[in-house]
Amino acid sequence: MNLHNNNNSLPGGESLQNQIKDQIVTVQILVIIFLCINLLLIITFSKKECFYTTTRYILFAVTLLSDSFLLLMSNILVIFTHFHITIQVWLCIIISVVVLVYVTVTPVTLTAMTLERYVAICMPLRHGELCSTRNTIHCILIIHCLSSVPCIVILSTFFVSASLNFYKQYQLCSVEVFMFYIWQQHLRSAVYQFQFLIMCIIIVFSYGKIMKVARAASGEDKKSSKKGLRTVALHGFQLLLCIIQLWCPFIEAALFQIDYSLFYNVRYANYVMFYLAPRCLSPLIYGLRDEVFFHALKNYLGIDHVRAGSESLCIRGSVALGR
């Protein structure tokens, strides 16, 4: 879809071009800010041993890396689209593999983090056994295998439908390049929605179980359970934003036939709210709300010089519940 040719033929095309430029600059600023924050948190994660031997922090690091890869690669596609840069289809496949896999890694990892909170609060005696470092590594492999399913489905239908000459053609890179038939779009939507349905069920189940424990608990256990509830609720909100993202292409396709200016504004809003926003919530949930990680972050930035206090928090945080 040649967006630039279309907008040049519309009334007010020059003002629209200026608006598009402003929006592109805004997106670049947001992406740079998010990438810098993620890099800072990844460095903080690597500074303390208790972080890369504790399941929830390992999974947190996975979301940071996943979101960073996705922000970087999706931003490249945004720039390509804006400047109407076409690339050969085989190169687009390589870029799209990263985008398709990592767009799903974060929500699947959030679901795994929710299950970890469920085990920590509802099955505390088995938490150490089930959430060992070895099991966490296996969990990360499973996360990436599950996240690869939509990519495999989309590209498999493309490989059986495309001719060999098509791979050498120059196209604007997007997932739509691989969609020749309407049934491919329906199949993609069905796979994604089935995955997210399963993840929603897991999050609702975990929230219900943790709420039950929170009502029965007292004192420090009650406080930990309530914090676990808030964490699971935030995971659910992130997942909701990711689900809405699946519907965006259908809305945008309908608006493109009606009004280009409205289409571009809606697509820009969708990218910010449902693509960038869910990726900046992970640092908030586990980077700033978590007392242990936030203390280590302040220590790394030189705001907090009491290293002994940081170590004691690290030890205490490794056995605490609901954080």
Residue 317: pLDDT over 60? no
The proportion of the chain whose per-residue pLDDT surpasses 70, expressed as a percent, equals 80
Mean pLDDT (the chain, rounded)? 79
Token pair, residue 33, equals 């800010």
Confidence band, pLDDT 50/70/90 cuts, at residue 219: low
The domain locations on the chain are 22-214+233-313
Residue written as tokens 């945008």? 252
Q: Where are the beta strands (DSSP E) in 147-233?
A: 170-171
The CA–CA distances, whole Å, from 203 to 117, 138, 241, 252, 290 equal: 10, 21, 14, 29, 20
Residue 148: pLDDT over 80? yes
| pLDDT for the residue numbered 142 | 95
| pLDDT for the residue numbered 220 | 62
The CA–CA distances, whole Å, from 3 to 262, 263, 267 equal: 13, 10, 12
Strand partners, 170: 88
| pLDDT for the residue numbered 164 | 86
| pLDDT for the residue numbered 308 | 44
Higher pLDDT, residue 72 or 314: 72
Q: 37: closest CA among 271, 293, 273, 243?
A: 293
Q: What is the Cα–Cα distance from 111 to 133, expressed in whole angstroms?
A: 18
Question: Residues 164-182: pLDDT tens digits?
Answer: 888 888 988 888 788 888 8
Most confident of 18-27, 208-217, 296-305: 208-217
Class of 22-214+233-313 in CATH: mainly alpha
Higher pLDDT, residue 303 or 109: 109
Question: Residues 197-212: pLDDT tens digits?
Answer: 898 899 888 888 888 8
If 0-12 CB within 10 Å is exposed, 13-18 middle and 19+ buried, where does residue 257 land? exposed
Q: What is the Cα–Cα distance from 141 to 79, expressed in whole angstroms?
A: 31
Q: What is the Cα–Cα distance from 297 to 272, expressed in whole angstroms?
A: 26
Which of these ranges, 45-49, 108-112, 115-119, 148-152, has the smallest mean pLDDT? 45-49
Q: What is the Cα–Cα distance from 206 to 229, expressed in whole angstroms?
A: 9
Residue 27: pLDDT over 50? yes
The proportion of the chain whose per-residue pLDDT surpasses 90, expressed as a percent, equals 11
Higher pLDDT, residue 129 or 280: 129
| pLDDT for the residue numbered 233 | 79
Q: What is the Cα–Cα distance from 226 to 243, expressed in whole angstroms?
A: 26
| pLDDT for the residue numbered 147 | 92
Q: What is the Cα–Cα distance from 257 to 175, expressed in whole angstroms?
A: 19
Q: 102: closest CA among 75, 120, 129, 132?
A: 75
Residue 321: pLDDT over 70? no
Over range 246-258, report the average pLDDT. 71
Over range 219-237, report the average pLDDT. 73
